[in-house]
Every structure is written in C-alpha cells, then in structure tokens.
Amino acid sequence: MGNYAAVDLGASSGRVMVGEVAPGSMKLDQVHRFANVPVRAAGTLHWDILGLYRGVLDGLRAAGGGLTSVGIDSWAVDYGLLDGSGALLGNPVHYRDGRTGGIPAEDHYATTGLQHLSFTTVYQLAAAAGSPQLEVAEKLLLIPDLIAYWLTGSVGAEATNASTTGLFDVTTGTWAWELIEKAGLPARLFPPIRRPGDSLGATLPDVLDTPVPVVAVGSHDTASAVVGVPARDERFAYISCGTWSLVGLELDAPILTEASRLANFTNEGGVDGTIRYLRNVMGLWLLQESLRTWELDDAALPDLLRQAAAEPAFGAIVDPDDDVFLPPGDMPARIAALCGRTGQPQPASRAAVVRCILDSLALAYRRTLRRAQELSGREVDVVHIVGGGARNALLCQLTADACGLPVEAGPVEAAALGNVLVQARAAGDVGPDLASLRALLRSTQHIVRYTPHPNPAAWASAERRLAP
C-alpha cells in the first residue's frame, strides 16, 4: 500500500490530493485547495506562480509524513524562463493574454500534429522574440516542470506537456529540433524529455523535512485525466470537461492526414506512448464567466441548472469556440451580441443563457466526436465525461442525446486519480498497463450512466443553424 500526493493545478484553482492505493482499493482525499488567480500588471496578464507554489508547499506539508511519492500535473502551453543561475525570469504569462493575437499561423502539422491555437507555446515565444528575458534565458520549463524543479532541483520536460508546445515531434517523441532552429530559438532552452513514471529525484530540504521522491506523471492534466477514464476497452470517447473541454479518442498512433489538419484536430502525447486525438472546445469557461459576471458562486448553479432544464431546447445557440469568448469578461453580453448578429433571439433570462451554453456545448461535442471517428476510423460505443463537468447532470444528458450514445460521467477528480495511478504503478502497487489502472477505477469510483433520448433530426437541425 502507498500514499501518493497528486499536485493538480487547474486554470482557476489548485489542489493537493492524497491517494491511498492498495490491491483492489483506491481512496482519494483532498488535503489542500487554493485559488489560482491571475494578475494583470503593466497591461500583461500573468500567472501568480509563486502563489501557486506556496499553495503546493502548504498542501504537501498538510499531507503529513508517510508519502510514497509526489506527482504534478497542470494546464499546458505556458512556461517560465530560467537564467544561468536557475532563477526565474519574471512571472509566466497567461495564455489568455492578448500578446499572441497577431502572430501568423504556420503549418507544421506533419511534425507536431497540433491543431492551431493562437496561444500555443511556439506563438508565445514568437511574441516574446527580442525580449531581454528570452535573450538571456538558459532554460524553458512548462508549468509542472517548473514546480518540479523548485521541489527537486531537477530540470527536464515531461513528454505529454511538451507535446503541446508546437515544438515537439509527435512521431518520434522528441523535441522537433529543425522547427526550433527555424523559429530562431536556441537549443539550450529545451531540457531533456522525461516520460511518465520517470524519477525526478527527491524533494529538497527546504520543501519537506523528510525527502520524498517526485515522479513524472502525465503532467498535462488532460493526459492524467485520460488515464483516469474508467474505460472497459478501446471503443470509447472521452470529454475531459472543466474550464476547457478536451474532446477526443485515445489512439496508438497520430493521425497526420490533410483532412485531420483541415479539421483542426490535435495529436497530443498520452501516457504509455498513446495519442490523445482531440479538439479543444471552450468548455465550462462560458458558464464560469457568466456566474462571475452575475456575482454568483457555485452554490447558485443547481437552481440555475434546474431552471435551464425547463427552458426550450435550442432557443439560441452559439459556437462556443468563437474567438469572442476567449478573453475574460461579460460572457452573457457576448452571447447576446453573437445571437443578435446571427439573427437569433437573445436569451431573455439567466436560465436561458445557461441553456444556450449547454445546448451549444453538447452540439460542439456531437460534431467533434463524429468527426474524430470519421478521421480515425475508430468507432465508439460510449462517451466518458470526466472532470468537473461530470457533476453537471443536464450537460451529461444533453451530451448523450446529442451524440446518440450512452454517457458515463465520472470520476470528477480524473486528473488527480490518473496522476496517483501512474505514481502507484511506478512503485509497483498496481498492474503494469492502462487496462489494469482503469479496472481499479471502475471498481472503486462513482460513475453515473446517462441513456440517450434520441432525436437526431432536432440535433441535426440545430447543427445546421451554426453551419458557415
């Protein structure tokens, strides 16, 4: 039996969870939760990385003694730069900052397999070209690698997160050195690649009184979340649903066809050399920002969802991936404005706004999963929703209805569970393959099944309203 600390950093909060794993059992407890609040300074939106690190330290210390190991996962693309002494050169810039908006896209799909997103690491680096920080930097560390460096003093780049940078060769699993050179970036910035399960060393004396091993996990939170999908076989789709929704399939090899590129699908690295073949959908960000605009907290959401369920279906729908929704701000006003521009009635109440968001997300999931199956040749029998969206019963039911497939919702803490399971496997506490990890999840985690209420004509009609 082992006790494993999962540091799970999300776009709005961080958690330190401790998972107790033994043969046939798994228990997960939250020992510390802390806010992740970005800071705008001199016109630039930054992550408060030292505040996050303080939260990590508080959580690890609250976990007490007896930890077997620690693993770290977080969001992708953002990074910190270190100078030659190992000091951080400024706070990492937030991917929602507007600095990459004017950077032209380049097509390196055959190498990176990535969909075009304006805030990908390669475009952030292009925006930083010529800056004093980049000129003197010796190493670039993505967020989980930066936290691991402060915990252990060890420098490296975990593969699943490195695969999101636009500077990684998805076919070889290494840095794409030709692209790095073409981008005018010094090779010294890019540290050695590490794989899930690799040892990163032990915590330093100023971290914990007793050294604890730190282990590489799927450090992109979606990579850990996909490990945390309780699938029975390969015929599944997943929606890792939080601030973003990552919608796709788990494959053995990337899909690098021209059709895949044009459809804007991404091939990101997964645990055990798998490929997360997916598209980013804006996700619950629209709902989170609406609640913030209305000055409501999560306690108000159950009543809003009950009211939204009584609203007419498809009263108004939007494309949740429209660029207008990317920055923080008044999301209900933006939704109303977009409805007006597309000749639809504007949602007349908060419940109508919520129904618009959830109908729109379910439509986005429907078309994304249909296209993923077409491009990959992989048919699926079930959709797994993991992450915070698994709690949203209305969204789960709408997704089942939209896709015409059963939805299995849960676990909510899929990223933390996947993080823990990779650590436990490295320690020999669980079986050797993903199937073994997922079997343990099915036997220990709460999962809710939603049966579809098919009405394909209504969903197809709504989808046509959003066609260009």
Buried residues in 138-172 as b, exposed as e (16+ CB within 10 A): bbbbbbbbbbbbbbbebbbbbbbbbbbbbbbbbee
pLDDT value for 466:
86
On whether the pTM is more than 0.85, the answer is: yes
Question: Six-digit token pair at 448?
Answer: 């809710």
| 2-221 topology per CATH | Nucleotidyltransferase; domain 5 (3.30.420)
The per-residue pLDDT for 117 is: 87
Q: Which of 221, 359, 401, 429 is catalytic?
A: 221
State residue 454's pLDDT score: 86
Using alpha carbons, select from 38, 178, 21, 179 the residue that is nearest to residue 96: 38
Residue 384's DSSP bridge partners are 238, 408
Q: Residue 368: helix, strand or coil by DSSP?
A: helix
Question: Cα–Cα distance between 174 and 268 in angstroms, integer?
Answer: 12
The reply to whether 221 belongs to the active site is yes
Topology agreement, domain 2-221 and domain 230-410+431-468: yes
- For 243, counting Cβ atoms within 10 Å of its Cβ (0-12 exposed, 13-18 middle, 19+ buried), the class is buried
Question: How is domain 230-410+431-468 classified at the CATH fold level?
Answer: Nucleotidyltransferase; domain 5 (3.30.420)
Give DSSP secondary structure letters for 184-208. T--GGGSPPEE-TT-EEEE--TTT-
CA nearest neighbour of 32 among 62, 6, 11: 62
Q: What is the pLDDT along the chain (468 residues), one digit of tens a residue?
A: 899 999 999 988 999 999 999 989 999 999 999 999 999 999 999 999 999 999 999 999 999 889 999 999 999 999 999 999 999 999 999 999 999 987 888 889 999 999 888 999 999 999 999 999 999 999 999 999 999 999 999 999 999 999 999 999 999 999 999 999 999 999 999 999 999 999 999 999 999 999 999 999 999 999 999 999 999 999 999 999 998 899 999 999 999 999 999 999 999 999 999 999 999 998 999 999 999 999 999 999 999 999 999 999 999 999 999 999 988 999 999 999 999 999 999 999 999 999 999 999 999 999 999 999 999 999 999 999 999 999 999 999 999 999 999 999 999 999 999 999 999 999 999 999 999 999 999 999 999 999 999 899 999 999 999 877
- Nearest alpha carbon to residue 6 among 226, 214, 145, 184: 214
- Buried b or exposed e, range 107-125, using 16+ CB within 10 angstroms: ebbebbbbbebbbbbbbbb
Tell me 467's DSSP state: -
The residues that bridge with 26 in the sheet, in sequence order, are 21
CA–CA separation, 279 and 239 (whole Å): 10
The ranges assigned to domains in the chain are: 2-221, 230-410+431-468
